[in-house]
Amino acid sequence: MARNRAYLDYNASAPLITAARDAIVDTLTHVGNPSSVHTEGRAAKAILEAARRDVAALVNAKPDHVFFTSGATEAASTLLTPQYSMGRAEMRLSRLYVSASEHPCMLAGGRFPAEQIEIIPVDGNGILNLERLQELLASHDRNQGLPLVAVQAANNETGVVQPIAAIGAVVKQFGGLFIVDAVQAAGRIILDITTSSADYLILSAHKIGGPKGIGAIIAVSDLVMPKALVRGGGQEKGHRAGTEALPLIAGFAAAARMARDRLEHGGWSVSQREKIEDGIRAIASDAIIYGADVERLANTTFFSLPLVKAETVQIAFDLAGIALSAGSACSSGKVGPSHVLAAMGHGAGTGGLRVSTAPDTSDDDVARFLDALTKIVARRDRSGAVAADAA
Protein backbone atom coordinates (compact mmCIF):
# COMPACT_ATOMS: atom_id res chain seq x y z
CA MET A 1 0.00 0.00 0.00
CA ALA A 2 1.37 3.41 -1.00
CA ARG A 3 2.40 5.47 2.01
CA ASN A 4 0.34 8.43 0.80
CA ARG A 5 -2.87 6.43 0.94
CA ALA A 6 -4.98 5.13 3.81
CA TYR A 7 -6.51 1.66 3.36
CA LEU A 8 -9.85 1.40 5.20
CA ASP A 9 -11.45 -1.45 3.25
CA TYR A 10 -10.38 -4.57 5.13
CA ASN A 11 -13.81 -6.18 4.77
CA ALA A 12 -13.28 -6.27 1.02
CA SER A 13 -9.82 -7.79 1.36
CA ALA A 14 -7.13 -7.68 4.00
CA PRO A 15 -3.54 -7.11 2.83
CA LEU A 16 -1.46 -10.28 2.67
CA ILE A 17 0.40 -10.71 5.96
CA THR A 18 4.13 -11.40 5.90
CA ALA A 19 3.77 -14.87 7.41
CA ALA A 20 1.29 -15.88 4.71
CA ARG A 21 3.49 -14.53 1.95
CA ASP A 22 6.48 -16.43 3.31
CA ALA A 23 4.47 -19.64 3.57
CA ILE A 24 3.32 -19.27 -0.03
CA VAL A 25 6.84 -18.67 -1.33
CA ASP A 26 8.31 -21.55 0.68
CA THR A 27 5.65 -23.97 -0.52
CA LEU A 28 6.07 -23.04 -4.17
CA THR A 29 9.33 -24.99 -4.15
CA HIS A 30 7.63 -28.26 -3.15
CA VAL A 31 7.32 -30.37 -6.25
CA GLY A 32 5.18 -33.19 -4.88
CA ASN A 33 1.46 -33.70 -5.42
CA PRO A 34 -0.33 -34.34 -2.10
CA SER A 35 -2.06 -37.35 -3.68
CA SER A 36 1.21 -39.05 -4.61
CA VAL A 37 2.59 -41.79 -2.36
CA HIS A 38 6.29 -41.16 -2.93
CA THR A 39 8.51 -39.12 -0.63
CA GLU A 40 7.81 -35.82 -2.37
CA GLY A 41 4.09 -36.47 -2.36
CA ARG A 42 4.11 -37.34 1.33
CA ALA A 43 5.97 -34.10 2.09
CA ALA A 44 3.30 -32.14 0.23
CA LYS A 45 0.60 -34.10 2.04
CA ALA A 46 2.17 -33.20 5.39
CA ILE A 47 1.97 -29.50 4.51
CA LEU A 48 -1.67 -29.91 3.48
CA GLU A 49 -2.69 -31.70 6.66
CA ALA A 50 -0.81 -29.24 8.90
CA ALA A 51 -2.71 -26.44 7.18
CA ARG A 52 -5.98 -28.27 7.73
CA ARG A 53 -5.22 -28.38 11.46
CA ASP A 54 -4.45 -24.65 11.58
CA VAL A 55 -7.64 -23.64 9.78
CA ALA A 56 -9.72 -26.02 11.90
CA ALA A 57 -8.28 -24.57 15.11
CA LEU A 58 -9.60 -21.11 14.23
CA VAL A 59 -13.18 -22.35 14.75
CA ASN A 60 -12.56 -25.32 17.09
CA ALA A 61 -13.32 -27.89 14.42
CA LYS A 62 -11.81 -31.28 13.66
CA PRO A 63 -9.13 -31.12 10.95
CA ASP A 64 -10.72 -34.02 9.07
CA HIS A 65 -13.83 -31.87 8.63
CA VAL A 66 -12.05 -29.06 6.74
CA PHE A 67 -12.35 -29.12 2.94
CA PHE A 68 -10.53 -26.53 0.83
CA THR A 69 -12.20 -24.70 -2.06
CA SER A 70 -11.21 -21.89 -4.41
CA GLY A 71 -12.97 -19.40 -2.13
CA ALA A 72 -16.18 -18.59 -0.30
CA THR A 73 -18.29 -18.32 -3.44
CA GLU A 74 -17.43 -21.87 -4.48
CA ALA A 75 -18.02 -23.03 -0.91
CA ALA A 76 -21.48 -21.43 -0.94
CA SER A 77 -22.32 -22.94 -4.32
CA THR A 78 -21.25 -26.34 -3.02
CA LEU A 79 -23.34 -26.18 0.15
CA LEU A 80 -26.45 -24.57 -1.36
CA THR A 81 -27.81 -27.66 -3.06
CA PRO A 82 -30.91 -29.84 -2.63
CA GLN A 83 -28.73 -32.94 -2.89
CA TYR A 84 -26.99 -34.20 0.24
CA SER A 85 -26.03 -37.62 1.48
CA MET A 86 -25.80 -39.24 4.89
CA GLY A 87 -23.06 -41.79 4.46
CA ARG A 88 -24.15 -43.72 1.37
CA ALA A 89 -27.83 -42.77 1.69
CA GLU A 90 -29.17 -39.85 -0.33
CA MET A 91 -30.90 -36.96 1.43
CA ARG A 92 -33.23 -34.40 -0.08
CA LEU A 93 -33.44 -30.76 0.99
CA SER A 94 -36.53 -29.23 -0.54
CA ARG A 95 -36.24 -25.57 0.36
CA LEU A 96 -33.55 -22.98 1.08
CA TYR A 97 -34.17 -20.26 3.67
CA VAL A 98 -31.74 -17.36 3.45
CA SER A 99 -31.77 -13.99 5.20
CA ALA A 100 -32.49 -10.88 3.15
CA SER A 101 -29.17 -9.22 4.02
CA GLU A 102 -26.89 -12.08 2.93
CA HIS A 103 -23.89 -11.76 0.66
CA PRO A 104 -24.87 -12.02 -3.04
CA CYS A 105 -23.25 -15.47 -3.36
CA MET A 106 -25.70 -16.76 -0.75
CA LEU A 107 -28.74 -14.91 -2.09
CA ALA A 108 -28.06 -16.44 -5.50
CA GLY A 109 -29.17 -19.74 -3.97
CA GLY A 110 -26.49 -22.01 -5.40
CA ARG A 111 -28.08 -25.04 -7.04
CA PHE A 112 -31.58 -24.37 -5.72
CA PRO A 113 -34.16 -23.21 -8.30
CA ALA A 114 -35.64 -19.78 -7.55
CA GLU A 115 -39.03 -21.20 -6.61
CA GLN A 116 -37.43 -23.20 -3.78
CA ILE A 117 -35.76 -20.19 -2.14
CA GLU A 118 -37.44 -18.32 0.72
CA ILE A 119 -36.12 -14.97 1.96
CA ILE A 120 -36.15 -14.36 5.73
CA PRO A 121 -36.65 -10.68 6.63
CA VAL A 122 -34.37 -8.69 8.93
CA ASP A 123 -35.23 -5.76 11.18
CA GLY A 124 -34.05 -2.16 10.98
CA ASN A 125 -30.73 -3.10 12.55
CA GLY A 126 -30.20 -6.04 10.21
CA ILE A 127 -31.00 -8.77 12.76
CA LEU A 128 -32.80 -11.79 11.36
CA ASN A 129 -36.47 -12.08 12.30
CA LEU A 130 -36.44 -15.24 14.43
CA GLU A 131 -40.22 -15.38 14.74
CA ARG A 132 -40.61 -15.37 10.98
CA LEU A 133 -37.98 -18.08 10.66
CA GLN A 134 -39.91 -20.19 13.17
CA GLU A 135 -43.14 -19.66 11.21
CA LEU A 136 -41.50 -20.62 7.94
CA LEU A 137 -39.89 -23.75 9.35
CA ALA A 138 -43.07 -24.76 11.20
CA SER A 139 -44.96 -24.71 7.90
CA HIS A 140 -42.19 -26.46 5.97
CA ASP A 141 -43.39 -29.71 4.35
CA ARG A 142 -40.89 -32.30 5.55
CA ASN A 143 -42.47 -34.89 3.26
CA GLN A 144 -40.84 -33.02 0.38
CA GLY A 145 -37.44 -32.88 2.07
CA LEU A 146 -35.57 -31.13 4.87
CA PRO A 147 -35.12 -27.35 5.21
CA LEU A 148 -31.72 -25.75 4.63
CA VAL A 149 -31.03 -22.42 6.35
CA ALA A 150 -28.14 -20.09 5.46
CA VAL A 151 -27.19 -17.03 7.51
CA GLN A 152 -24.12 -14.81 7.88
CA ALA A 153 -22.41 -14.71 11.25
CA ALA A 154 -21.57 -11.06 10.57
CA ASN A 155 -22.73 -8.87 7.73
CA ASN A 156 -20.06 -7.78 5.27
CA GLU A 157 -21.48 -4.27 4.88
CA THR A 158 -22.77 -3.29 8.33
CA GLY A 159 -20.70 -5.63 10.51
CA VAL A 160 -23.89 -6.59 12.38
CA VAL A 161 -23.43 -9.88 14.25
CA GLN A 162 -26.32 -12.33 14.07
CA PRO A 163 -27.43 -14.41 17.11
CA ILE A 164 -26.10 -17.56 15.48
CA ALA A 165 -26.62 -19.88 18.45
CA ALA A 166 -30.27 -18.83 18.78
CA ILE A 167 -30.87 -19.15 15.03
CA GLY A 168 -29.19 -22.56 15.01
CA ALA A 169 -31.38 -23.73 17.88
CA VAL A 170 -34.51 -22.89 15.86
CA VAL A 171 -33.15 -24.67 12.80
CA LYS A 172 -32.42 -27.79 14.86
CA GLN A 173 -35.86 -27.62 16.47
CA PHE A 174 -37.35 -28.21 13.03
CA GLY A 175 -34.78 -30.74 11.85
CA GLY A 176 -33.01 -28.53 9.33
CA LEU A 177 -29.41 -28.12 8.23
CA PHE A 178 -27.69 -24.85 9.09
CA ILE A 179 -24.99 -23.11 7.01
CA VAL A 180 -23.14 -20.17 8.56
CA ASP A 181 -21.24 -17.78 6.32
CA ALA A 182 -18.37 -16.94 8.68
CA VAL A 183 -16.28 -15.08 6.10
CA GLN A 184 -16.37 -11.69 7.84
CA ALA A 185 -16.59 -13.04 11.39
CA ALA A 186 -13.67 -15.47 11.30
CA GLY A 187 -10.65 -14.06 13.07
CA ARG A 188 -12.62 -11.07 14.36
CA ILE A 189 -14.89 -12.75 16.87
CA ILE A 190 -14.53 -16.11 18.57
CA LEU A 191 -16.26 -18.86 16.61
CA ASP A 192 -16.80 -22.41 17.85
CA ILE A 193 -18.55 -24.78 15.49
CA THR A 194 -19.29 -27.17 18.36
CA THR A 195 -21.50 -24.64 20.20
CA SER A 196 -23.09 -22.72 17.32
CA SER A 197 -25.50 -25.41 16.09
CA ALA A 198 -23.97 -24.85 12.65
CA ASP A 199 -23.59 -27.84 10.39
CA TYR A 200 -21.18 -25.96 8.11
CA LEU A 201 -19.06 -22.84 8.24
CA ILE A 202 -17.69 -20.99 5.22
CA LEU A 203 -14.29 -19.25 5.45
CA SER A 204 -12.20 -17.19 3.04
CA ALA A 205 -8.46 -16.69 3.40
CA HIS A 206 -8.10 -13.20 1.99
CA LYS A 207 -10.43 -11.72 4.61
CA ILE A 208 -7.94 -12.62 7.36
CA GLY A 209 -4.69 -11.70 5.65
CA GLY A 210 -4.24 -14.84 3.58
CA PRO A 211 -4.10 -15.08 -0.22
CA LYS A 212 -7.00 -14.65 -2.60
CA GLY A 213 -8.33 -17.74 -4.35
CA ILE A 214 -8.62 -20.10 -1.38
CA GLY A 215 -11.42 -20.79 1.08
CA ALA A 216 -12.88 -23.65 3.06
CA ILE A 217 -15.99 -25.52 4.03
CA ILE A 218 -15.83 -26.64 7.64
CA ALA A 219 -18.33 -29.28 8.70
CA VAL A 220 -19.33 -30.20 12.21
CA SER A 221 -19.10 -33.84 11.10
CA ASP A 222 -18.44 -35.69 7.87
CA LEU A 223 -21.58 -37.80 8.10
CA VAL A 224 -23.86 -35.43 6.16
CA MET A 225 -22.27 -33.74 3.14
CA PRO A 226 -23.50 -32.03 -0.04
CA LYS A 227 -23.18 -33.49 -3.50
CA ALA A 228 -19.83 -32.33 -4.83
CA LEU A 229 -19.87 -29.30 -7.09
CA VAL A 230 -16.42 -30.00 -8.58
CA ARG A 231 -16.14 -33.68 -9.40
CA GLY A 232 -13.32 -35.74 -10.79
CA GLY A 233 -10.53 -37.19 -8.68
CA GLY A 234 -10.83 -38.16 -5.05
CA GLN A 235 -9.18 -35.10 -3.50
CA GLU A 236 -10.62 -33.66 -0.30
CA LYS A 237 -12.29 -37.01 0.39
CA GLY A 238 -14.24 -36.66 -2.85
CA HIS A 239 -15.91 -33.42 -1.72
CA ARG A 240 -13.86 -31.17 -4.02
CA ALA A 241 -11.91 -32.63 -6.94
CA GLY A 242 -8.70 -31.15 -8.29
CA THR A 243 -5.12 -31.00 -7.07
CA GLU A 244 -5.02 -28.89 -3.95
CA ALA A 245 -3.54 -25.38 -4.33
CA LEU A 246 -0.82 -26.09 -1.79
CA PRO A 247 0.88 -22.65 -1.70
CA LEU A 248 -2.44 -20.87 -1.24
CA ILE A 249 -3.49 -23.36 1.43
CA ALA A 250 -0.21 -22.83 3.28
CA GLY A 251 -0.79 -19.08 3.17
CA PHE A 252 -4.34 -19.59 4.47
CA ALA A 253 -2.96 -21.61 7.38
CA ALA A 254 -0.45 -18.91 8.30
CA ALA A 255 -3.18 -16.28 8.34
CA ALA A 256 -5.42 -18.56 10.43
CA ARG A 257 -2.64 -19.01 12.99
CA MET A 258 -2.16 -15.27 13.32
CA ALA A 259 -5.91 -14.65 13.53
CA ARG A 260 -6.28 -17.23 16.27
CA ASP A 261 -3.32 -15.81 18.19
CA ARG A 262 -4.85 -12.34 18.05
CA LEU A 263 -8.18 -13.62 19.41
CA GLU A 264 -6.40 -15.44 22.22
CA HIS A 265 -4.55 -12.26 23.20
CA GLY A 266 -7.36 -9.76 23.52
CA GLY A 267 -9.02 -9.76 20.12
CA TRP A 268 -10.13 -6.61 18.34
CA SER A 269 -10.77 -3.38 20.25
CA VAL A 270 -13.82 -1.21 19.54
CA SER A 271 -11.97 1.94 20.56
CA GLN A 272 -10.94 2.82 17.02
CA ARG A 273 -14.46 2.25 15.70
CA GLU A 274 -15.79 4.51 18.45
CA LYS A 275 -13.29 7.20 17.48
CA ILE A 276 -14.36 6.97 13.85
CA GLU A 277 -18.07 7.10 14.69
CA ASP A 278 -17.71 9.91 17.23
CA GLY A 279 -15.86 11.82 14.54
CA ILE A 280 -18.55 11.15 11.93
CA ARG A 281 -21.28 12.40 14.27
CA ALA A 282 -19.30 15.50 15.18
CA ILE A 283 -18.64 16.37 11.53
CA ALA A 284 -22.11 15.49 10.20
CA SER A 285 -24.83 15.49 12.84
CA ASP A 286 -27.30 14.10 10.30
CA ALA A 287 -25.15 11.10 9.41
CA ILE A 288 -26.81 7.71 9.86
CA ILE A 289 -24.73 4.86 11.29
CA TYR A 290 -26.40 1.54 10.57
CA GLY A 291 -26.67 -1.21 13.17
CA ALA A 292 -25.41 1.11 15.91
CA ASP A 293 -27.88 -0.32 18.45
CA VAL A 294 -26.81 -3.96 18.15
CA GLU A 295 -23.62 -6.00 18.33
CA ARG A 296 -21.27 -5.37 15.43
CA LEU A 297 -17.77 -6.30 14.41
CA ALA A 298 -15.27 -4.05 16.15
CA ASN A 299 -13.74 -2.97 12.84
CA THR A 300 -16.81 -2.00 10.79
CA THR A 301 -18.77 1.24 10.40
CA PHE A 302 -21.46 1.57 7.73
CA PHE A 303 -22.91 5.06 7.41
CA SER A 304 -24.62 7.41 5.01
CA LEU A 305 -24.72 11.16 4.48
CA PRO A 306 -28.15 12.50 3.54
CA LEU A 307 -28.45 14.40 0.25
CA VAL A 308 -25.39 12.85 -1.40
CA LYS A 309 -24.89 9.54 -3.16
CA ALA A 310 -22.51 7.10 -1.52
CA GLU A 311 -20.75 6.40 -4.82
CA THR A 312 -20.00 10.13 -5.22
CA VAL A 313 -18.58 10.34 -1.72
CA GLN A 314 -16.52 7.19 -2.29
CA ILE A 315 -14.89 8.81 -5.32
CA ALA A 316 -14.13 11.92 -3.27
CA PHE A 317 -12.46 9.80 -0.60
CA ASP A 318 -10.46 7.92 -3.21
CA LEU A 319 -9.17 11.15 -4.69
CA ALA A 320 -8.21 12.20 -1.18
CA GLY A 321 -6.09 9.04 -0.88
CA ILE A 322 -8.51 6.94 1.18
CA ALA A 323 -9.78 3.51 0.16
CA LEU A 324 -13.20 2.53 1.46
CA SER A 325 -16.32 0.97 -0.03
CA ALA A 326 -19.82 1.99 -0.99
CA GLY A 327 -21.31 -1.34 0.08
CA SER A 328 -20.02 -4.80 -0.75
CA ALA A 329 -16.91 -5.04 -2.93
CA CYS A 330 -18.73 -7.72 -4.94
CA SER A 331 -21.42 -5.24 -5.99
CA SER A 332 -19.82 -1.83 -5.55
CA GLY A 333 -19.29 -1.52 -9.30
CA LYS A 334 -23.04 -1.60 -9.85
CA VAL A 335 -25.20 1.49 -9.72
CA GLY A 336 -28.05 1.23 -7.26
CA PRO A 337 -28.88 1.09 -3.56
CA SER A 338 -27.40 -1.46 -1.19
CA HIS A 339 -29.58 -4.56 -0.93
CA VAL A 340 -28.55 -4.76 2.73
CA LEU A 341 -29.93 -1.30 3.44
CA ALA A 342 -33.06 -2.15 1.46
CA ALA A 343 -33.56 -5.28 3.55
CA MET A 344 -33.20 -3.15 6.70
CA GLY A 345 -35.87 -0.75 5.45
CA HIS A 346 -33.50 2.00 4.33
CA GLY A 347 -33.62 1.31 0.59
CA ALA A 348 -34.94 4.74 -0.40
CA GLY A 349 -31.82 6.56 0.73
CA THR A 350 -28.56 7.45 -0.99
CA GLY A 351 -26.62 4.30 -0.13
CA GLY A 352 -23.97 3.67 2.47
CA LEU A 353 -20.23 3.96 2.96
CA ARG A 354 -18.28 1.23 4.72
CA VAL A 355 -15.18 1.95 6.75
CA SER A 356 -13.44 -1.28 7.80
CA THR A 357 -10.16 -1.29 9.69
CA ALA A 358 -7.57 -3.69 11.11
CA PRO A 359 -5.75 -3.74 14.46
CA ASP A 360 -2.76 -2.13 12.79
CA THR A 361 -4.77 0.71 11.22
CA SER A 362 -2.98 3.83 12.39
CA ASP A 363 -4.38 6.87 14.17
CA ASP A 364 -3.02 8.89 11.26
CA ASP A 365 -5.21 6.91 8.85
CA VAL A 366 -8.28 7.61 10.99
CA ALA A 367 -7.37 11.30 11.24
CA ARG A 368 -6.93 11.44 7.47
CA PHE A 369 -10.36 9.91 6.96
CA LEU A 370 -12.02 12.39 9.33
CA ASP A 371 -10.23 15.33 7.73
CA ALA A 372 -11.43 14.28 4.28
CA LEU A 373 -14.95 13.79 5.61
CA THR A 374 -14.90 17.29 7.07
CA LYS A 375 -14.11 18.75 3.65
CA ILE A 376 -16.72 16.58 1.91
CA VAL A 377 -19.46 17.59 4.34
CA ALA A 378 -18.47 21.25 4.10
CA ARG A 379 -18.87 21.11 0.31
CA ARG A 380 -22.19 19.31 0.68
CA ASP A 381 -23.45 21.93 3.08
CA ARG A 382 -22.36 24.72 0.74
CA SER A 383 -23.74 23.29 -2.46
CA GLY A 384 -26.12 20.47 -1.53
CA ALA A 385 -24.02 18.02 -3.54
CA VAL A 386 -20.48 16.74 -3.35
CA ALA A 387 -18.17 17.31 -6.27
CA ALA A 388 -16.06 14.32 -7.19
CA ASP A 389 -12.91 16.44 -6.87
CA ALA A 390 -11.39 16.01 -3.38
CA ALA A 391 -8.72 18.67 -3.87
Q: Which residues are catalytic?
A: 330
Nearest CA-CA partner of 313 in 305, 64, 294: 305
SS (H, E, C) the chain: CCCCCEECECCCCCCCCHHHHHHHHHHHCCCCCCCCCCHHHHHHHHHHHHHHHHHHHCCCCCHHHEEEECCHHHHHHHHCCCEEEECCEEEEEEEEEEECCCCHHHHCCCCCCHHHEEEECECCCCCECHHHHHHHHHCCCCCCCEEEEEEECECCCCCEECCHHHHHHHHHHCCCEEEEECCCCECCECCCCCCCCCCEEEEEHHHCCCCCCCEEEEECCCCEEECCCCCCCCHHHHCCCCCCCHHHHHHHHHHHHHHHHHHHCCCCCCHHHHHHHHHHHHHCCCCEECCCCCCECCCEEEEECCCCCHHHHHHHHHHCCEECECCCCCCCCCCCCCHHHHHCCCCCCCCCEEEECCCCCCHHHHHHHHHHHHHHHHHHHHHCCCCCCCC
Distance CA 108, CA 325 (A): 22
Nearest CA-CA partner of 148 in 122, 101, 116, 125: 116
**Farthest CA pair distance, the chain:** 72
